[in-house]
Copies of this chain bind each other. A is one copy, B any other.
Amino acid sequence: MIEEGERVVLIDERGRKYLVAAEPMQLHTDLGVVDLSTVIGQEPGARLKSHTDKEFIVLRPRITDYLQKMRRVPQIMLPKDAAQIVAYTGVGPGDLVVDAGTGSGALAIFLGNLVRPNGHVTSYEVREDFARLAEQNIREAGLSDIVRVKLKDIYEGIDERDIDLVTLDLAQPELALPHVELALKPGGHLAVFSPCIEHIQRLYQELPKYRFTNCRTIECLVREFEVRPGATRPRTRMVAHTGYLTFARRV
């Protein structure tokens, strides 16, 4: 049963989502106004009506809902790329993670959700405004116990030790390598996200100086399909490039 103040997702007839709180407020949509106090006491799956009699379904949010709806700085790592970090490093429950830079916290939240309940994510950010925004997003996703934002330049050093995974989404990831080597436990993974090829070229100049093996660089492309009777085809346009992902394992 949904309690007062709890966060919920409403889905309208077209599949559009609204991330709101169950509280005495009104949600204004182009399908009419929904009285959010009527959400309190409902079970997930319940149907509400807007004042124009349009149906909205009440659901408990999943992490994907928070990630889609959170406030963000211009560029965030997309789930398709964050997911490849799971594929290549096996990050999961109990892992200790260091992340930099935080940005709006999208990757830290994604990873924080996966390392619950015993793991931890420390996310380094130098810009105070980004750190504040990320902390708010982390709180709304209910991950304040798991993800901590640290206002510090990771090029200056990493305080944590015995880390399972370090993720870097920075302009000069190569400057963090000496600290990453110290922070990672043997067998721990490094994952670096780089929009441009020059970042990778510089990274690979430095990587051989440190104790890493299994260095790999990939690009992940996701094509969406339109499946309609008699008219099945890939979408006309797609996101063709977000960035390259480089993985390496500490030995």
Q: How far is the CA of A220 from the CA of B223 in the complex (A)?
A: 7
Are the C-beta atoms of A44 and B223 separated by less than 8 Å? no
Are the C-beta atoms of A221 and B223 separated by less than 8 Å? yes
Which residues of chain B are within 8 angstroms of A236 by Cβ–Cβ distance?
Answer: 239-242
Each complex incorporates copies of this chain amounting to 4
Instruction: Give A146-168 as 1s and 0s: 1 = Cβ < 8 Å from B's Cβ atoms.
Output: 00000000000000000010000
Interface of A is mostly: mixed
**A–B complex contacts, Cβ < 8 Å, 14 sampled:** A11-B249, A15-B213, A58-B186, A64-B89, A64-B90, A79-B87, A83-B83, A86-B86, A92-B113, A117-B117, A219-B222, A221-B221, A223-B240, A233-B241
Binding site for B on A (CB under 8 A): 9, 11, 15, 43-45, 57-60, 62-65, 67, 79-80, 82-84, 86-90, 92-94, 113-118, 164, 185-187, 189, 195-198, 200-201, 204-205, 213-225, 227-244, 246, 249, 251
